[in-house]
Amino acid sequence: MSQDFRLDTVGLINRDKKLSFKFNGKNYFGYEGDTLASALLANGVHLIGRSFKYHRPRGFFGAGVDEPYAIVQLYRNNETEPNVKTTEQELFEGLEATSVNCWPSVNFDIGAINNLLKVFLPAGFYYKTFMWPKSFWYKVYEPFIRKAAGLGVASIKHDKERYEHKYEYCDLLIAGSGPSGLASAYAAAKNGARVILAEDKPRFGGTLLTSEVNIGNQTGKEWAENIIAELKEMPNVTVKNRSQVFGYYDHNMVVMSEKISDHLPKTKKHHPKQRLWYIRAKEVLISSGSIERPLVFGNNDTPGVMLSSAAKEYLKVYGVLVGKKPLIFTNNDSGYETAIEFKKNGVEPIILDTRKEPNSEIIDEAKNLGIQIKFSYVVVAAKGYKKVNAAEIAKISDNKNDLGVLENIICDCICVSGFWTPTIHLASQSGNKTKFDKEIDAFVPGISKQNETTLGAANGKFTLAETLKDSFDAGYELSKKITKNDNKVSYPIVVEKNKTTHDKFWCVPLPKGKNYKRFLDFQNDVAVSDIEIALKEGYRSIEHVKRYTTLGMATDQGKTSNLNGLQLVSDMENKIVPEVGHTTFRPPYTPVTIGAIVGREVGKHSRPTRKSPINSWHEKNNAVFVDAGVWLRPRYYKQGNETLFEGSKREAKNVRVNVGVCDVTTLGKIDIKGPDAAELLNRVYTNAWLKLPVGKARYGVMLREDGIVMDDGTTTRISENHYHMTTTTAQAANVLSHLEYYLQLVWPELNVNVVSTTEQWAGAAIAGPKSRDLLQNLFPNIDASNEGLPFMGYLEGELFGVHARIFRISFSGELAYEVNVESDNGNFMWKKIMEIGKEFKIQPYGTEALSTLRIEMGHVAGSELDGRTIPYDNGLEGMISKNKDFIGKRSLNKKAFVAEDRQKVVGVVPLDKKTSIPEGSHLVRDVNAQLPNPKLGYISASCWSVEHDNPFSLAILKDGKNMIGQKLFVMSPLKNITIPVEIVSSHYVDPKGERVRS
């Protein structure tokens, strides 16, 4: 097997290490250091895929990040990734790739019929055609378009790779390791600054790797290698290759994606695949270089047409000839450099130069080498379908309007150069006001908004001497500002060939009688004619033209197409480019994987798991867990083959009959201390707090300023100026912030301190008729009688030598206590309760039984206090003090809040006493009413009442107060069921609340 297009010695690849790979099922080989693109080109493969709209054959256009169409579906280590740029993907042993957007194969593509229909597929075609009839959109048009269009296919498998995030600070972040990046990094590093130098390619050096220049008596490549080697040794410098700085955000935050393992057949053990860096830099130096601008002519999307800089890179870096009969089509001197490289390697190029009589050192060199040059010549159209096999060329008039006689010229590739477009994306993202530079016909950075400096080609400076001087100076000056050091390195002597000006000409006119497609955006198939249509139809704003034609909206984000599009609109509108303006550059500069963005926050790591100190006991005792807010809580303790329904019913029943114990550690707890603590509570809660005695607890409801219930809970007066507040599990953090807000900002005169003690206390609720006996046995030294520890009473005691707080409060409606001990003693407390409780037939109960108990006794909780209800709605109007002001009180007299038929919590029982009612169902009066059926209320919580042995639900119902006894219907369109129900009191069990006081 030989490689027809590989040179014997040129290039930076390792010819000692062959790598085999597969493309579209066929075996090839390349070398270590190849990209997939260079390896395919070495094998003479130019046909890579099909275009998006017309399914025209597509090859390679660039050699790096700018590549618009050589994208593939990549297979690596049993995983697949769509739309991978072949020009960026490094070759590894066993790599497999297939074409995207073609069916059944790249060589025979059914969608290519679109190419024949292209007259029917102009800009806005989809918008115009697939509008009517409306009902056709989802069923007919969209599936069809989706199947025909679309690029690669995303994997639906779980991604087993590891992605990491890293946060970093530095003095200077330098994006790009070309001449300006290296010079500024070197100058800054030598002056003591902390520097991060990022290069998106595997090799450092940028254009120095391919250009014939001399710096300080070394070749550009040698100079780059020496600088990098020295930088790598410096402790204040971080040098990163395969790292793309893709986003520039507020306050000098830049984000960089580092590809750590994508170039390897398999990610190494303990290594991430990619790492996302969040870098906060004092100064950002953008040395992102420039991208060569295409020339626009007929069929310029044919495989074999590519940027001349790409052809040079394939030759000099990879030792690959992109053709053996190259045609160079240029409007500036850069094309000559490519031609000279071909010539030096024994290939005869022909140069077509749009300029009339240009003169420069490099043109002279080409002439001296005997390269054939045709001045005032253009390529009118590429010939060939799957590969260029000839070009139609013509002389062009001095005013560039008229073409001479068309001539055919045999060639196997056309290398185009339309001068250079500075890569200003990062500068623009940073908020820089970019400006149009008429000298180079492109936008360059203008006034900076953040601490950002753009250097070199990205700043529109195309000579090496100027670039290096600017960059050494910038690195020195900026580092001096930060480090206050004053170590200046000297400039090296630079030798480069001078160049002359480019021709302001990019779009070759159509010859008479021909309607060649002339493409601007190669990935989205946007041609000159599409822009013409958009303008003819009245689109003027460049943002609108972009969206209507999809120019620059493909995965390459128009890196090679934007400026030609702007130029065209300007020409047609007789405006100058800066008046048209450019579309907004937004991050990311290149596609970033979702994996890298998400990082390690996947699966159970997507948020912290909070576990109670008693968790190990729950695990050992068959607890089935549920996520309760940020906590992991036992839902029920499974016995045998019990279902959730059976288990929770058993546990709830045991509470009603004997005694149960529930882990309530997760309840929010806030310690409140200070002489004004009572005053704070009095302002925060709706009821009165000033006269609560020491050793007593009270239930409280707190509102937001808009009158909506925020949270509820009990607060206990531990001592004179010391209170213990409990909140619901879900609202714990919000309540603390709420209290801090009022203490720090609204009433700073209150002398009170609040601190969260949620994790300091482990809590166990003991509930049931036998709970008093159990408590007395746990604490033989306290008086657990109804007189000694009455309802809402508080005591402290010793639990087998461990200090404990004992509250007589109840969530279940039964006689109940809550015991708190320091978290470290939580497990000990729990085990003692289970041990001593044995004789009282104690069983632990989980959140499901807990809900059942509170629902059937009508105790409102999170599902009723849902951020939409006021105290009245929850039957808490009795909790509102008339004698004092509190947060949110002024809102309660709003018209809707005091309406006669205001919603209120009620109980709901199915008439058949069998059918369970789904939560979230609607309550309606008439099942046959015309749609939309007026909704009277909704089911907030449902359970199986263990007391009555039938389903029971709570609902928030309009005019609930007057609805008791009425027959309504529950409808759940989601589950497609209708249940006749009766409205009852929300207090379905012990309506007088006798048990808790017994």
Partner 1 sequence: MLHIKCPHCGMRSQNEFSYGGDATIKRPELNKEISDQDWNNFVYNRKSLRGKHLELWQHLSGCRQWIKVERDTATHEIFKTLKANQDI
Summarize as ranges the residues that interact with partner 1 (CB under 8 A): 167, 249-253, 278, 280, 431, 449, 683, 705-706, 737, 740-741, 744-746, 748, 884-886, 890-891
Provide, rounded to whole angstroms, the least separation between the CB of residue 895 and partner 1.
10
Nearer to partner 1, 145 or 746 (CB): 746
Say how far apart CA 29 and CA 93 lie, in whole Å: 9
Nearer to partner 1, 359 or 744 (CB): 744
Nearer to partner 1, 621 or 760 (CB): 760
Nearer to partner 1, 700 or 910 (CB): 700
∠21-24-28 over CA atoms, to 5°?
30
Provide, rounded to whole angstroms, the least separation between the CB of residue 586 and partner 1.
16
Q: What is the 3-state secondary structure (H, E, C) of 352-413?
A: EECCCCCCCHHHHHHHHCCCEEEECEEEEEEECCCCCCEEEEEEECCCCCCECCCEEEECCE
> Pseudo-torsion of CA 375, 381, 386, 389, nearest 10°?
-50
Say how far apart CA 869 and CA 905 lie, in whole Å: 10
Say how far apart CA 286 and CA 247 lie, in whole Å: 12
Provide, rounded to whole angstroms, the least separation between the CB of residue 706 and partner 1.
5
Provide, rounded to whole angstroms, the least separation between the CB of residue 82 and partner 1.
29
Q: Which of 18, 20, 41, 44 is nearest to 31 (CA)?
A: 18
Nearer to partner 1, 574 or 744 (CB): 744
What token pair was written down for 611? 């576990």
Distances (CA, A) of 523 to 49, 110, 177, 501, 561: 10, 18, 28, 30, 10
Nearer to partner 1, 364 or 705 (CB): 705
First to last CA, the chain: 94
Nearer to partner 1, 136 or 741 (CB): 741
Provide, rounded to whole angstroms, the least separation between the CB of residue 165 and partner 1.
12
Nearer to partner 1, 702 or 774 (CB): 702
Q: Which of 284, 279, 290 is nearest to 184 (CA)?
A: 284
Provide, rounded to whole angstroms, the least separation between the CB of residue 422 and partner 1.
24
Q: Quick one: which H or E segment has residue 909?
A: strand 904-910
Say how far apart CA 178 and CA 287 lie, in whole Å: 7
Q: What share of the chain is helix, strand, coil (3-state, %, to 5)?
A: 25, 30, 45
β-bridge pairing 494-495 and 214-215: antiparallel
Provide, rounded to whole angstroms, the least separation between the CB of residue 727 and partner 1.
16
Provide, rounded to whole angstroms, the least separation between the CB of residue 688 and partner 1.
14
Q: How is 754-791 classified by DSSP, letter by letter?
A: EEE-TTTEEEEEEESTTHHHHHHHH-TTS--STTTS-T
Say how far apart CA 450 and CA 911 lie, in whole Å: 69
Nearer to partner 1, 601 or 994 (CB): 601
- 3-state class of 979 per DSSP? strand
What token pair was written down for 193? 């600054």
By the 8 A CB rule, do 754 and 764 touch? no
Provide, rounded to whole angstroms, the least separation between the CB of residue 823 and partner 1.
21
Nearer to partner 1, 27 or 737 (CB): 737
Provide, rounded to whole angstroms, the least separation between the CB of residue 448 and partner 1.
12
Provide, rounded to whole angstroms, the least separation between the CB of residue 882 and partner 1.
13
Nearer to partner 1, 266 or 280 (CB): 280
Q: What is the largest CA-CA distance in the chain?
A: 114
Nearer to partner 1, 226 or 757 (CB): 757
Other beta carbons less than 10 A from residue 584's beta carbon? 9
Q: Which amino acid is at 63?
A: A
Provide, rounded to whole angstroms, the least separation between the CB of residue 743 and partner 1.
9
Provide, rounded to whole angstroms, the least separation between the CB of residue 705 and partner 1.
5
- 3-state class of 115 per DSSP? helix
Provide, rounded to whole angstroms, the least separation between the CB of residue 254 and partner 1.
11
Say how far apart CA 442 and CA 435 lie, in whole Å: 8
Provide, rounded to whole angstroms, the least separation between the CB of residue 888 and partner 1.
9
Environment class of residue 4 by beta-carbon count within 10 Å: exposed (0-12), middle (13-18) or buried (19+)? exposed
What token pair was written down for 927? 């099942």
Say how far apart CA 858 and CA 960 lie, in whole Å: 14
β-bridge pairing 26-32 and 14-23: antiparallel
